Structure 1
Amino acid sequence: MAEPFSDTERAAVYRAIHERRDMRHFLPDPVDPAILQRLLQAAHHAPSVGFMQPWRVIRITAPELRAGLVEIVERERLATAEALGERGGAFMKLKVEGIRDCGELLVMNLMDGREAHIFGRRTLPEMDLASVACAIQNMWLAARAEGLGMGWVSLFDVDAVRALLGVPVGAKPVAILCLGHVAEFYPAPMLQQEGWKQRMELQDCLLENRWDA
């Protein structure tokens, strides 16, 4: 039987899980290149269906590209507020990204040529996206352990980001990741603190044997 982690090691894993936050407020300090490499390695060691490893990460270092992403996200922020109707005003008061301030900016993409990967995807083709989400979560937890914050921005027009960054046909940008130093981590998820939505009780998400049981 495989040995579990020690009590201290196990506590550290659960601490990272429970204290991870979707950060929006960053300090401008640069991220140590060695730490960035560790985080990218953590992402790259994520599980993936059929071991297809569908993640492709673009590191944004050009100021004009960072500015371009800010503009794309802002356009979608306004469109989202309009789509939300009566909740649009409350949405506009939320800080939804930290692209301008974060030390590192990464764009996570799905690879092209995914249709060739059938193993595990014949009936569930979206498992490629699930695999990329695992890579993002790995990076997020590792960042928390390193004392860095990370925020996942999904407010963008896919084709606009594709054109800006030269993402090939068939590939797809799925996340803008803001990474960097923070003054402090939010004590609870920001949207929960702002009253946007509360965390559901586990019992309301847990079923046994059948959905209608």
Structure 2
Amino acid sequence: MTAPAFDAAFRDRLDLLLHWRRDVRHFRRDPVAEGAMQALFAAAALAPSVGNAQPWRFVRLRSPGLRETLAAHVDTASAAAADRLPDAERRARYARLKLHGLREAPELLAVFSDEAPAAGHGLGRATMPEMLRYSTVMAIHTLWLAARAHGIGLGWVSILDPTYVTALLDVPAEWTLIALLCIGYPEAPAATPELARRGWQAREPLADRIVER
């Protein structure tokens, strides 16, 4: 078999996709077609995983009651986080941010990592069991890029109590919550990420993140 060649045009498009990935907070209410959702799951399943353990577990949240309970929980956690900020200016900036689309996004997805998967037979994680969680994060990132390529937005909600959310969703004890995701069509495209546009945090120079030894 001959491996496919990815030419300069493809690499340019891939670079464009990476630059236009966004953490979306503002969603239209249009439903996402089931075929599109299944395509995203299929893409996520192509992510690398330690020992080929494939530890990601996706829970689709369909209940309106669960949706509102989660939204209220995140609102409460967000208010508490704002109170812990050190100065009034930062609190004011925080108040201007929209931190989730749990009430608007047509699809909500909780992503868990199975800490004891049968697949993989323990390969590669004897000294670093957290590799299972890293593998699940890779699946999320793969899904995120696939979503953007389909014109679908994704927002990762992290201002929450994972113990509370795990209990609320009644999943197996060996599953660890990694992400709560909002999925749907963005209200409008934006060339600059929202946190940079609103003065919270710009992307810093790459050179500051690379060291040599």
TM-score above 0.5, yes or no: yes
* Contact 1:55 1:110 survives alignment (8 Å): yes
- For 1:40, the equivalent position in structure 2 comes to 41
Alignment of 1:52-63 (within 5 A): 52-63=53-64
The yes-or-no answer on 1:176 pairing with 2:177 is no
For 1:160, the aligned partner's letter is: Y
The correspondence for 2:111, drawn from 101, 108, 113, is 108
Query: 1:201: how far off?
Result: 0.8
How many residue pairs get aligned? The number is 209
> Residue 150 of structure 1 aligns to which amino acid in structure 2?
L
Query: What is the distance in 2 between the residues matched to 1:102 and 1:196?
Result: 23
CA separation in 2, counterparts of 1:20 and 1:150? 9
- Measured against aligned partners, the alpha-carbon deviations of 1:121-178 in whole angstroms (never above 9, x if no partner) come to 2232221221111111111111111011111111111111111110222212121111
Question: What is the rounded CA distance, in whole Å, between the counterparts of 2:125 and 2:92 in structure 1?
Answer: 40
User: Contact 1:106–1:178 (CA<8 Å) still a contact in 2?
Assistant: yes
- Report the Cα distance in structure 1 between the residues aligned to 2:158 and 2:39, rounded to whole angstroms: 24
Report the Cα distance in structure 1 between the residues aligned to 2:162 and 2:137, rounded to whole angstroms.
17
CA positional deviation for 1:3: 5.1
Aligned Cα RMSD in Å?
1.9
Q: Mean Cα displacement is larger for which, 55-64 or 116-125?
A: 116-125
Contact 2:112/2:176 (CA < 8 Å) preserved in 1?
yes
The two structures have a TM-score, normalised by structure 1, of 0.91
The 5-angstrom pairing of residues 22-171 of structure 1 reads 22-86=23-87, 87-113=90-116, 118-171=122-175
* Distance in 2, Cα, partners of 1:106 & 1:177: 5
What SS does structure 2 have at the residue aligned with 1:85?
Answer: coil
**What CA distance in whole angstroms lies between the structure 2 residues aligned with 1:204 and 1:73?**
33
Q: In 2, distance between residues paired with 1:95 and 1:117?
A: 42
**Native 8 Å contact 1:23 1:185 kept in 2:** no
- How far apart are residue 190 of structure 1 and its match? 1.1
Tell me how far apart the structure 1 counterparts of residues 186 and 98 of structure 2 sit (CA, whole Å): 15
The residue type equivalent to 1:170 in the other structure is: E
Percent identity over the alignment is 41
Tell me if structure 1 keeps the 8 A contact 2:154–2:184.
yes
8 Å contact kept, 1:112–1:168: no
TM-score computed with the length of structure 2 as normaliser: 0.91
**Unaligned regions of 5+ residues in structure 2, if any?**
none
Matching residue's letter, 1:200: E
